[in-house]
Every structure is written in structure tokens, then in C-alpha cells.
Amino acid sequence: MQIILGITGGIAAYKSADLARLLANQGHRVRCILTEAGARFITPLTLSSLTGEPCYGANPDQGEWRANPSIEHIELARWAELVAVVPATANIIGKAANGLASDLLSTVLLATRAPVLWAPAMNTGMWEHPAVQANLARLRSFGHAVVEPGEGVLACGEEGSGKLAEVAAIAEAILLHGTPKSRSLTGRRVLITSGPTREDLDPVRTLTNRSTGAMGIELARAFRDAGAQVQLVLGGDLPAPWGVETTRVRSAQEMLAACEARWGAVDGLVGAAAVADQRPEAYAAEKVKKGDGPETMVLVRTPDILATLSGTKRPGQWILGFAAESEDHLAHAAAKLQKKGLDAVLVNDIQGGRAFGAQANTLTPVTAQGPQAPIGPLPKDDLARAVVQWWGHRLEARESGL
């Protein structure tokens, strides 16, 4: 994405360097515009070195806004696929809300047709002032996104709200706000399961598997970015993604209960979790001591989450399943599709240890029409976006009766 990062005059301006670097490392092109006050907190050299792109100053005699000052603001406004103002002062928020264009950043903000995102940072008194809140409400009414500041000890020594949101959360919000939305997924409610389940034997031992939950988390992000309202039921220890309602679970039984509680109110389910097929028959409340002779553990079947939910599917509701197979993967996927009444199964060929924790991966969708073109090999984040795009197109075709 081509991003204009506007940096205004607050102490938190130093954090925008981290944000610029993070976005550039993610492969985005980032051009910074400093306001005059912003340039008192951070230098253009820092920003242009981190991004490898020019950094623009407030006025034609500053930064790189020299070549053709009369049209540069229009060119920048057109170049931008998203404009983010981080940190945003009360001053720039007030100017943009009222259509003022007194320097390069405020002019670009007025001229651009790209999505705009604000990450305000200011003293609590300023943040809570009705004038600032009214200005933000006006910006929201233009379709702009606001990443709300958090609470904490502020640079002025006061404690309260007004602290710039975390840089990682702002980066996620930028991606979310800048990604084109899918027609068939916008506003749809999608339930996603991810991660391993853990079936406890006693307070210290557990039966689990090698899934990390990374793929389901990337799918949650990709559905979120496509415009869906995502609920994630997550096993394992990976951090939950931003902007997704996450419920943590441990066992297959807990995962089923969390899904059943949500199933009636969602449009579709993505079953990406690696659910244990068996659990120990009995749970010992105290740690089991080692015995002398051979030991056996009796296992019983856990509930089949996809099959259970599929059994109560409403017309129009859809289910995507995942399968990890080490042999004859397409045939197994086709059997799973039929047996569990799924709309598609995305199958991983895990021969040679691929898939679990691997960097790049390939998924082959299998539908009632048979195996489709494989998606990948791609890193998990790109793969998740490609899967969502593929499914979005299929839903569109289905809804238009094709």
C-alpha cells in the first residue's frame, strides 16, 4: 500500500519513527509529512532513512516539498492509498474537521480521496474537551477511522486518557482501513476456530498437537480486513489479533461450547483449529504417580465440532473446514467434505512436516465440484488473504446465482 504518514507536534512523534519502519518492513511505501511543530520533535532525516522515501516539510522551503510546490500537494494526495496522522494533535484534528488547509499536511488531507486514519495523542484535559470530541465526531462522519488513545501516565505527568495507542495496533488499523472490502463479506459475521486443543490427564499433563494457531489467526485478520465481523475461538498461547472478538478455550469440549453459543448468530464458520480427536477417559484431580508395571491410558472420542455445527446449519450459513493430511490428501478432503456436510475443505499436504509452524504453505480447496486450483505456496498472512479472496468470490457467485 502507498501510505502518507502525517506527523504532528506532540511528544509521541518519536513513536511514528517505529511505525514508519514497521510499515516499510511490511512492504508498504511510506512517505512522511511533518508539520512545522512535528519537525521540532523528529527530523526528516530519521524518517527518510527508515522509509527510503522522501519526507516532506510543512512549507515549500522545508523538506522535499520544493520541486513544484503548487501541485505537490495534489500529487501526494493522489499518490496516497491511505493517509494516517500519527500522532494527531488537537490542532490538526480541529483543522481537518473544519476544512482548513494552511500547510502541506492539512492540504493533502483536504485534497485526498484515500481513506484517512487518525491516532490522536494529547493531554487528558485536551482529549476530553468537547471541542476535540466534536471535531473527531465530524471526522468520523466523513468516514475517517480513529484509533482511540489509551490510558496511562502521559508525558505531561498527568495520568488519564490521551496516550497514543500501541504502534502495532495502529499498524493493524492502517491495514484494516486501507484494504478494499469484499462485497460478499462486508458486515457478515464469521466464526473462526484456531489453534490446538489440550486434553488434560491431570493438573500437569496434557494431550495436545503441534498446531500453533497461526493460520487461523491470519485468517481472522484477513476476514476482518475484508470487512467481516470476526469472532475467534482460540486454543494455544499465541496473542489474539487486534479488532477481533476472541474467546480463549482449552479442550475440544470448551471449543464446541463456545462455538455453539455463537453459531446461531453468524453467517459462516471457518474451522481452522486442530481439534484433538481423543481425550483421556478420566481426569485425575491430583498428579498421577508413576507405577511399576506397564501403563495404559484409555482414550475416548472428543465431540466433532464441524459435524455437530453442520447438523444445525441454517439455509445460507456456510462452513469451511481445514484438513491436514500426510497421504492421499485430496481423497481424504473430499470424504471429509461429504461426511461433515461442509461447503469447502482446504487441505494441507503435511508430508515432510510442512504446515505446522512452517513459513510458506499451500492449500488446495476441495468443493462439491472437486479439487480447485491450489492456493500458494505463500507465507501464512498472504495465504490467508488469498483464501479469503477466493471464498469471497465464491460467495459472490453463489449469491448472484451463478
Ligand X SMILES: Cc1cc2nc3c(=O)[nH]c(=O)nc-3n(C[C@H](O)[C@H](O)[C@H](O)COP(=O)(O)O)c2cc1C
* Residues tagged active-site: 156
CB-nearest residue to ligand X: 10
For the chain, helix, strand, coil in percent to 5 are 35, 25, 40
- 149 in contact with ligand X (CB under 6 A): no
Exposed/middle/buried for residue 313 (C-beta within 10 Å: 0-12, 13-18, 19+): middle
Stretch that binds ligand X, among 118-126, 174-182, 248-256, 392-400 (CB under 6 A): 118-126
Q: Say if residue 349 carries a ligand binding annotation.
A: no
- 85 in contact with ligand X (CB under 6 A): no
**Which residue stretches of 232-358 are H helix?**
252-263, 305-310, 329-340
- 44 in contact with ligand X (CB under 6 A): no
Q: Say if residue 287 carries a ligand binding annotation.
A: yes
| Cβ-based neighbours of 315, under 8 Å, separated by 6 or more | none
Q: Say if residue 356 carries a ligand binding annotation.
A: no
- 8 in contact with ligand X (CB under 6 A): yes
Residue from 1, 2, 11, 111 binding ligand X (CB under 6 A):
11
Output the CA torsion sign for 201, 205, 210, 214.
positive
329 grid coordinates? 490428501
- 231 in contact with ligand X (CB under 6 A): no
- 333 in contact with ligand X (CB under 6 A): no
**DSSP category for residue 265:** T
Min dist CB 122 to ligand X, Å, is 4
- 235 in contact with ligand X (CB under 6 A): no
The interaxial angle of helices 90-97 and 104-111, nearest 10 deg, is 40
Cα(3)–Cα(47) distance, integer angstroms? 13
Which CB, 163 or 385, lies closer to ligand X?
Answer: 163
Cα(19)–Cα(49) distance, integer angstroms? 13
- 107 in contact with ligand X (CB under 6 A): no
SS3 109: helix
Which CB, 110 or 307, lies closer to ligand X?
Answer: 110
Min dist CB 159 to ligand X, Å, is 15
Residue from 48, 51, 62, 89 binding ligand X (CB under 6 A):
89
Min dist CB 165 to ligand X, Å, is 13
Residue from 19, 90, 173, 309 binding ligand X (CB under 6 A):
90
- 38 in contact with ligand X (CB under 6 A): yes
- 35 in contact with ligand X (CB under 6 A): yes
Which CB, 11 or 101, lies closer to ligand X?
Answer: 11
- 136 in contact with ligand X (CB under 6 A): no
Strand 199-200, strand 150-153: pairing:
unpaired
Residue from 1, 24, 37, 288 binding ligand X (CB under 6 A):
37
Q: Nearest 10 degrees: CA dihedral of 240, 246, 247, 252?
A: -70
224 grid coordinates? 476482518
- 121 in contact with ligand X (CB under 6 A): yes
Residue from 48, 51, 91, 184 binding ligand X (CB under 6 A):
91
SS3 113: coil
- 100 in contact with ligand X (CB under 6 A): no
| Cβ-based neighbours of 340, under 8 Å, separated by 6 or more | 304, 306, 307, 310, 319, 321
**Interface with ligand X by CB under 6 A: which residues?**
8-11, 35, 37-38, 89-92, 121-122, 126
